[in-house]
Every structure is written in structure tokens, then in C-alpha cells.
Chain A
Amino acid sequence: MHVLIINGSPRVKKYSNTNYILVKFTEGLRENGASFEQYEISDRGSWDQIRQAFDRNTVILIALPLYVECIPGLLIEFLETLTPKSDGSKLAFLLQGGFMEGVQLRCGEAYLKILAGKLGCAYMGTLVKGDNFMIRFFEGEWREKVTDPYADMGREYAVNGDFNSKACKKFTGHEKFPLPVRIYVGHILKTQAAKGFEQIAAAFECDKPLDFKPY
């Protein structure tokens, strides 16, 4: 199987959480005998190439971050330029986001089902996973702890050609945290996580409080 992978993140590849995920995902893909070619939407100079690859390939995966409950504006701008297919192409999605629970990504996932039809492709499912916000800020083992599990999903996809297996559904993790976990997570977010965000801001040389109101 040969897969066209489109990284739909508007963020440049160097800082793209989606790309860090794809690095691991494609390791698994290769291990199970699939080949791939990958393009980045953030590189507008490659859009002609991506369009040609979309027309040429019949197994396509679009990986993307959730932006305001759906797909990013830049990805829509690119998709608007495609000619819908009629060659039986199969389209799957890898949807990732920052929020931890699966429920946060379901509205975006629902649109991806619609989108596959609009692009004239068979919908092959969406791999849904949150809790990825920190990937770009992590390094070494910390980053790999988050991204390594995607290699398993690459192996699954290489075998099945879709994200409909039990393993892929389970990969999402908690759909909703049980109440005691929510209370605990809420506390961590207000304390340790808040402090962590302020430390990242300091590294960005931010000289204002994070709740500063400029307008």
C-alpha cells in the first residue's frame, strides 16, 4: 500500500505537533510494509504538488489539528482548490488536539465524515486523540512518551487501510473523565499546569501576565 499523507497543520513543519505525530505514525506504517509520500499545507509553495498527488493517489490520509472545533482555515483554503475524485479513492483522517478527552474532538470528527464525501472519497475513519498540546515544547523522552504510541496506529493502518479497528477506537482514551478525575485534573490545571504555561511564556520572553487584556 502506498499512502499520500497531507499534513493539514497551518503551523510550520519544524514546530508542528501533527508532524511529530506523523514521524512516529509513519515509522509504524513502514514497518508493516506500506510506503508513503508526505506534504505540508503550511508550505503554500507546494500546493500544486499536493494537488497533483491528490489526483494521482487513491489511498489518502489527511492529518490535522483541531482548530475551533473543526478543520483549520488554511486547510479549507487548500481543499477548496481540489477537484472532487471519482476513482474510488479512500480517505482517512488523523485528528489531534490539545484537550484531553475524546469528546472534545467529536464535532471535528463529524465534519470529516462529511468532508470525505464532498471530496468524492470513501470515508475510512478518523484516528482521534487529544492531549497533544505540549508536544512541541517537550524534548527527548518526554516528547516520545506522547508520540511513540502513534507508531502502533501506523502499523494498524498499514494492515487495515482504515481506522475502524478496536485498537484505533481505544487509542482515543477517555471519552470523558469520571467526575473524581475531572476534579483532580481541574486542580492540576489551576496549579501545576498554570505554572508550566507561565514558565513556557517566560522562555518566550513574555513580559506580561498571561491574562493581560490589551483591548
Chain B
Amino acid sequence: MDGAMDGAMDDGAVLRLVGVTKRFGPLVANDSVSFTLNKGEVIALLGENGAGKTTLMNILFGHYLADEGHVEAFGHRLPPGEPRAALAAGIGMVHQHFTLADSMSVLENIALGTQSLWSLRFDRRRALARITTLSRDFGLEVHPNAQVSDLSVGERQRVEILKALYRDARVLILDEPTAVLTPLETEALFRTLKKLVAKGLSILFISHKLNEVLAVSDRVLVLRSGKIAGERATSATNRSELAALMVGDTVTEPTVTDHAPGETVIELVGIRTTGRVGGAPLDTIDLTLREGEITGLAGVSGNGQAALAALLAGTLRPDSGTIRIRGEEMGEWTARTALAHRIGRIPEDRHTIGMIGDMNVIENAISESYRSPRFSHRGLLDWKGAEDFARAIIRDYDVKCPSPRAPVRLLSGGNMQKLILGRAFDGAPHVILASQPTRGLDVGAVAYVHAKLLEARNRGAAILLISEDLDEVLALSDRILVISKGRLSPPSARGALTVREIGERMAGHGFQEEGGIHAA
């Protein structure tokens, strides 16, 4: 394996980025980024959501074309836009969203594209032998013949790493690898990475989580607004310095003032679901949301957050259990009933669920209220009134858009989210479901969303904040619940639990002894 690198290794640099710039329209996602990764080194690329980390990785691997600059691997310039060249140069990438074909076997996924497409026989035995060797050498246990759809998230990640190793990768790029892992799985991943480095691989570790970066890297590069904002040796830096570099000085931490919660608005009792939403179904949960209180829901992705969000949004019906709003038991439960009972909803995925990209700002603004007498008279829509409403949102929520008649797909993520806030907060909702409300937003937009959520809480709304960003949950919530495998932990007041204790609950500990389920 080592023979492959002879000659090009004079200065120890395995990977070098030189002045890489990438623009999407007016947005500069990467602004002349340069750095060097050396042999046997772990570099952490740290940055907020929207700082340009994923774009940079896509350029590195050839999925995107850089507008300026280039990438060198082992002293040779990589041709731009060719994943094949990156692979051949020994660069392996583990994407944030796994690139696996679910209905195929582990072996097929790993060996895909490694044998000549024109050979008449797929050499299964050779692939099997190699996978077995690799998984033994690196301690990456997998069942080569298992179907990917049957694997856990951690196992899938192992398959992704094996895919790179199978191709003799000398550089491994991991994009937010821990986002979907439990703390336990994360530790296992870190052990694997140490083994890889010991065998001479170099690693680029992309994350926005400070603790992980400090735990795993030799050197930290901080990316902010597409630029390298700083570079530190891990041993010579600390959390607060990195945090400052990461967010710059624009950071405005939300100030949460304590105040007593009001009456119960919505109550879920013994809810079970089976419907087709991603992740775990809900397994007999109880949940109460009270006026003027933000309930934060922490948890590893895929543990039932999607089901809970869909349930509150009205798009998922419970199989059993009751939903009560202000004491009244709900019979039929649809998105319309949810809206009629003044539940404001911020969906997890603003592009595919929150907004209709090809319809304009006005049409999207009224999508939840077009049937109300405000906008519709005997089936005819009042476009004048709708436009006034849209303009009001644009003004009040500072939505930057070319015009109210522009299709929303032209809006940036932050502006789309502001439009969604304006729509959801219209008519002062009693309950607010905020599902990953700041994912993928830049720092300014995040602060804006946080401020609006706190404003709504202070005026008396009952808010459920679902987030995979533990820091966000800790910063905003009056009380915190943890979801694991579709079950809820008992609630804890803000500050009552340490991060470590929350982490344990995220891994599924501390549920049984309370009998699971009651909250509040």
C-alpha cells in the first residue's frame, strides 16, 4: 500500500488546496481557501452551518467545479470536476448523507466501480476476501452480504469508510460524521480514526462541534463565511478561542429570562405511530406543552424526531393515544385541524416541505390560510389581499426577495426561513413546532430565528424546539427532553442536567427506571 506514495512525498504534504473560490450567484461559498494536509495528520475543518465546509469538500472530491484555484494530491494537480480522478489519487470521502444503494448488499456497495465495467463477471470472491481483510485490519466489523437497508446508521458509516479503504485511500475526508451517531458510536468512530492515522492515512474531519474537533484533531482550521478565519494547533487552543473564531464577533447569544409557564395548551397521551416518516416511530409517548415555555427536544437524528414533528404538524396520525388541545380531545387529526387549533409549524426541510419552490412568495405566504375568509370569497381568491399579506411578512420579517412575485426557489435559505416564520407566526399561534429551525442557516439568520422564538415564548406561545444541535437546545429551552428510539425521557429544567447526562440519555440510558414515559 505504501509503495503507491513513493516520490511525491518529499515535503510530507498529501493534499493541498490553493486559492479555491466558489460562487453560487451572488453568494461566495468559498473565498480563496488554501491549506495543506500532511501525512498522518488529522485536520479538523471547523465552521458554523453555512460557513462553506460542505461546498469545499464537494470541490475537493470533484462534485463541484471551483471558479478559481485548484487542488493538489501528492504533488499532482487534480483535474477539476472528476470524482474519478480524486478517487484514483487516493482521496476517499464519507459524505454527511451516505451514498449507499439501500436495496443492495454491503459487498456490492463497496466494490461498485472497482472492477472494470466491461468484465463479464463480477469477482465476488476477490471482493469478499479483501473486505474481510480490511475489516479485520481496521476493526470495522460488517456483514458483507447484508442488505444496506438492514444496517444501523453506525454500520452504514463503517461501510462508507470501508468503501474508501477498499480503494486504497490515503486521505479520508469525513463530512460531519457524528451528526447521526450516538455518543457511543462516536467514540467507536474516533478509535477507528486513530487506527487509520496509525497506518499512515491522513484525515480531514469536518464538523461544527467544538468538543469533537478538540478530541480528534492535530490541527484546526476555522472556516467562517467561506474564508479561513484562523488556524491553530489543537494542543495550543481551547473551546472559547475556537468558538470566537468560528462565529466572529457578530455573535449575540440569546438572553433567556426565567418566567413561570402558564396553562397547558397541548397534551399528547400514550401516542404511538407507525406511519411512513423517516426514523423511529413514536413508542407510547406523553408530552405536555405549556404557555410561555420552550420545550427543547434533544436526540440523535432518526430517533423519532421526524415522527413527533409530523404528528404535531398534523401530517401524521397517531395509531393510538390521544391529542388534547386546551382539554378538548381531538377526533380527526390532519394538518388542517392542527392549523385550525393555531399550531404554527416550522418544518425541518424548508425546501421540500416548507415551501413550493416554483410558486411565488405571495402564493407561499398564503398556503396555510388561503381558505380563510381573509383571502377567499366563495372559492375565489383575493390576490390583492394576499399580496398585502405577503408584503407585510416581507417587511416585518425582513425577507430579502426580488419581488413578492418572484418564485421562492430564488430566495436564500435564511430568507426562506424568515418567510416560513412569517407564515407560521401569523395570527399569534398558541403552539409552535420548530423542527431544526436553524439548520443550514448562517449566523445572522440563526440569531434572528432564535430571537423570534423567544419573542413568541415571551408573548405566551407553547413551543416545542426539536434540534440535533445540543447547544441550541441548551441555550433556548426552559426544559429539556431527550428522545431515543421513539421514547421520551422525563423532562428536566434548564441547567438540571449536565451535557454528559443528556448524552447518556441520547444513547438510550435512563429511560427504563422511570417507566419510560411520563412528562410533566
Does A pair with B? no
